[in-house]
A and B are shown apart, each in its own frame.
Chain A
Amino acid sequence: MNSRIFFFCISLSIFILLLSNGCSKNLPEDRPSGLKSIQLLNQDSSIVNFPDEFKGNILLLSFIYTNCPDICPMTTHNMQMIQEQLKKEDINNVRFAELSFDPLRDTPYILKEFGDIRNIDYKNFMFLTGNEQEIRKILNTMNILAIPGDTAKTENGGIVYFYTHTDRITLIDKDGNIRNEYSGSKANIQQIINDIKTLGD
């Protein structure tokens, strides 16, 4: 009888081990983000120690600029959809951040307006801006390209410029490792939610 129980426990352990390995294979290998601690500002002008602020939680991080009329609003919308879905499923260990790669124009006030007009729930969602050089370091570390280029001249002679940029949402685990990367504007929301569930608590 004891040997039967022993055999059952061993079998169960192997099954659980195989199951957990199977789940983790859904996600790429851990990759340290390489981010050094940098002070940024959120939409309320509060200082945020990035990325330390998010350690202990799963972080969904995207890269935007608010003068973007097409791609970045789609990314923000996708982030918001994921936030809403996770809230419905009572998954509370995820935080959302959108880092502006256009800090000269994207002040905290502008970021707040961008969020408010979209009814962002700031409970676990924030926009980030900061010093241009510091933000450039983050972008370089995370292989995000953001190159100011196309310009337009308004009727008042004002110059407006736009960015050519990487379109990305990055999934970072609670230890600060990059676990997956997705298109921001054309994100498969269900895939991201599944990956978040795979990371678990």
Chain B
Amino acid sequence: MLLFLYLFTLLNSFSPEVKIEYAWLRPAAKGMNSALYFNLNNVSSKADALYKVTSKIAELVQLHATVKNDDGTMGMKEIKQIAIPANAVVKFEPGGYHVMLIKLKKRLRVNSKIEFTFYFKAGGKVKVTAVVKKE
């Protein structure tokens, strides 16, 4: 039992676990853009970072942040990776971080489900299914 606990702790210390929760995206027409939102819940004691998301649904998938400029205008910028501190939740939500889905290959209808693959620096690849929701 002690050996099992030791191995579990050791494994956990080298392999951060980030749970992807509440994944949803906006409805949009084919050829247009949408955004994917979710919570990254790091339940481990090690920090990690999300650096890529892929999906067949769009021609291009990027990590983005919505930013407010000094003149009050709103814009977006691509970000290379997003740090997820240990035992913390990083929210991707409207008006903030989002995964940008550029040039959708098909129409996103409410309640349809779309597959994504998340890439973490330490945690590796994680497959996620997100649902299309109206806000």
How far does the alpha carbon of A145 sit from the alpha carbon of B33 in the complex, in Å?
Answer: 21
Which residues of chain A are within 8 angstroms of B98 by Cβ–Cβ distance?
A: 69-70
Contact of B134 among A71, A118, A152 (CB under 8 A): A118
Task: Mark contacts of A152-182 with chain B using CB atoms, 8 A cut-off: 1 yes-contact digit, 0 otherwise.
Answer: 1111101010111111000000000000000
7 additional A-B pairs beyond A113-B32, A145-B73, beta carbons within 8 Å, are: A74-B94, A117-B108, A150-B77, A154-B60, A160-B60, A163-B75, A185-B94
Tell me whether A23 is interfacial, beta carbon within 8 Å: no
Q: Chain B interface residue count: which class?
A: 20 to 34
* Contact residues in B for A166 (Cβ distance below 8 Å): 72-74
A77-B135 in contact (CB<8A): yes
A113 CA to B29 CA, complexed, in Å: 7
A114 contacts chain B at the CB level, 8 A cutoff: yes
In the complex, number of A-B residue pairs with CB atoms less than 8 Å apart: 93
Nearest CB of chain B from residue A83's CB, rounded to whole Å = 14
Q: List 8 A-B contacts (CB under 8 A).
A: A70-B35, A70-B94, A110-B29, A113-B29, A145-B73, A150-B78, A160-B33, A185-B95
Which of B9-17, B43-51, B99-107, B116-124 makes up part of the contact surface? Answer: B99-107
In the bound complex, residues from chain A placing their C-beta under 8 Å from that of B28 are 69, 117
Asked whether B115 is an interface residue with its Cβ less than 8 Å from the other chain, the reply is no
Q: How far is the CA of A71 from the CA of B75 in the complex (A)?
A: 9
Assuming the A-B contacts A117-B28, A154-B102, are A71 and B77 also in contact, with contact meaning beta carbons closer than 8 angstroms in the complex?
no
A interface residue numbers (CB < 8 A to B): 66-71, 73-74, 77, 110, 113-114, 117-119, 145, 147, 149-150, 152-156, 158, 160, 162-167, 185-186
Q: Hey, which chain B residues are within 8 Å of A162, CB to CB?
A: 75-76
Residues of B within 8 A of A150 (CB): 75-78
Closest chain B residue, CB of each to CB of A144: B73
| Most chain B beta carbons < 10 A, residue from A66, A110, A114, A162 | A162
Q: Is B21 an interface residue (CB 8 A)?
A: no
Chain A residues near B62 (CB, 8 Å)? 152
Task: Tell whether, in the assembled complex, residue A147 and residue B102 are in contact, meaning their CB atoms are under 8 Å apart.
Answer: no
Query: Is B55 an interface residue when CB atoms closer than 8 A count as contact?
Result: no
